[in-house]
């Protein structure tokens, strides 16, 4: 696999697409996320978890203040800001130099949160709606001049699992992402600042999630780096007959290796240490650039 995109530099990190797989550590500061809700509710616990993920090899920390699990209820703008902004501030003020300079992604669908998060020290906006929930999101991100991750979804987290009927799964997914890429470019976002995510687990059945993993390379023609988020998701629990999300790490690792084999650039994961190790070996197998270096 060779890189077809220009490199992206965020703080002290050069993202050289195609050279290796980058790991995004999930840090949900929510009481109700599906696998780690309530685990990092205090600022001290969340900051400690960010530090542990950086030590384990995370390239990006993805901070979320609004659960996107199936059936999740909305939280108020004020509540989301109160969860996210203090943590960004604390990371940026950390005496740990590596942590203080880690690229921070903010998992939000609200342009107000995006704007305040970037002003506080955030670097990337990760919008699970593909910037469809907030009509101002793309123009705000363009003004902020930061990268955006555009994900495929149908409906909302509350309704999405009732919207899983597709005539042509990969075709419809690709069309949605193509339209969102064009909308982002039209609003002034550079093509080099757009990352796409097929939205595994969002309005998808177990079978459809597996189909996406097998066919990720079809999304290469959209000319954007590809993020894949399978971590601890219910389809893995279904395959393993494992109801506890925290016990799905090796099932997650298998999906991550499959994603790397099919040209994923970024993996969004909870279990950073294990997936860093799995991805290093998978990179050595599937990426010739690793061997050359």
pLDDT digits over 101-135, tens only? 999 999 999 999 999 999 999 999 999 999 999 99
Residue 185 confidence (pLDDT): 98
What is the structure's pLDDT at 234? 95
Specify burial of residue 239 (Cβ count, 10 A radius: 0-12, 13-18, 19+). middle
The candidate with the shortest Cα–Cα distance to 287, out of 252, 256, 261, is 261
Cβ contact 177:131 at 8 Å: no
Structure tokens at 39: 């685990």
Q: At what angle do helices 206-214 and 169-186 cross, to 10 degrees?
A: 70
Q: Which of 19, 69, 232, 268 is catalytic?
A: 268
Go through the chain and tell me how many residues it has. Answer: 293
Comparing CA positions, the residue from 115, 17, 116, 112 lying closest to residue 59 is 17
* pLDDT of res. 34: 45
- Can you tell me the distance from the alpha carbon of 189 to that of 183, in angstroms, rounded to the nearest whole number? 9
268 has catalytic annotation: yes
The C-alpha atoms of residue 272 and residue 56 are separated, in whole angstroms, by 6
Other residues' Cβ atoms within 10 Å of the Cβ of residue 42? 9
- pLDDT < 70 stretches in the chain: 1-3, 32-40, 68, 70-72, 289-293
Tokens representing 266? 């970024």
Q: Which of 204, 232, 233, 287 is catalytic?
A: 233
The span from the CA of 12 to the CA of 78, in Å, is 31
- What pLDDT is attached to residue 42? 85
What number of H helices and E strands is found in the chain? 11, 10
Q: What are phi and psi of 79, to 5 degrees?
A: -65, -45
233 catalytic per annotation: yes
What is the pTM assigned to this prediction? 0.94
Report pLDDT digits (tens) over 23-66: 999 999 877 544 444 566 788 999 999 999 999 999 999 999 98
* Token representation of residue 7: 């490199």
Task: Determine the CATH number of domain 19-281.
Answer: 3.20.20.20
pLDDT of residue 155: 86
Cα separation, 63 vs 85, in Å, equals 10
């Amino acid at each position: 696999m060779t890189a077809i995109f220009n490199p992206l530099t965020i703080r002290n990190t050069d993202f050289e697409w195609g050279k290796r797989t980058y790991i995004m550590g999930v840090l949900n500061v929510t009481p109700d996320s599906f696998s780690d809700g309530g685990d990092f509710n205090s600022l001290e616990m969340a900051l400690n978890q960010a530090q542990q993920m950086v030590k384990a090899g995370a390239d990006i920390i993805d901070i979320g203040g609004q659960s996107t699990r199936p059936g999740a209820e909305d939280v108020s703008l004020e509540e989301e800001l109160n969860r996210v902004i203090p943590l960004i501030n604390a990371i940026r003020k950390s005496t740990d130099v590596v942590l203080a300079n880690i690229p921070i992604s903010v998992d939000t669908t609200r342009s107000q949160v995006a704007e305040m998060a970037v002003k506080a020290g955030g670097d990337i906006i990760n919008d699970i709606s593909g910037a469809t929930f907030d009509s101002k999101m793309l123009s705000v991100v363009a003004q902020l001049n930061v990268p955006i991750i555009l994900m495929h979804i149908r409906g909302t987290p509350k309704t999405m699992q009732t919207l899983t009927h597709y005539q042509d799964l990969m075709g419809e997914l690709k069309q949605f992402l193509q339209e969102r890429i064009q909308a982002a470019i039209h609003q002034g976002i550079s093509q080099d600042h757009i990352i796409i995510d097929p939205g595994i687990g969002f309005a998808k059945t177990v079978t459809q999630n597996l189909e996406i993993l097998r066919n990720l390379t079809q999304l290469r023609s959209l000319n954007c780096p590809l993020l894949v988020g399978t971590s601890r998701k219910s389809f893995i629990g279904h395959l393993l007959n494992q109801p506890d999300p925290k016990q799905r790490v090796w099932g997650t690792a298998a999906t991550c290796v499959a994603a790397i084999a099919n040209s994923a650039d970024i993996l969004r994961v909870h279990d950073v240490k294990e997936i860093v190790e799995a991805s290093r070996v998978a990179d050595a197998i599937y990426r010739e650039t690793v061997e050359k270096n």
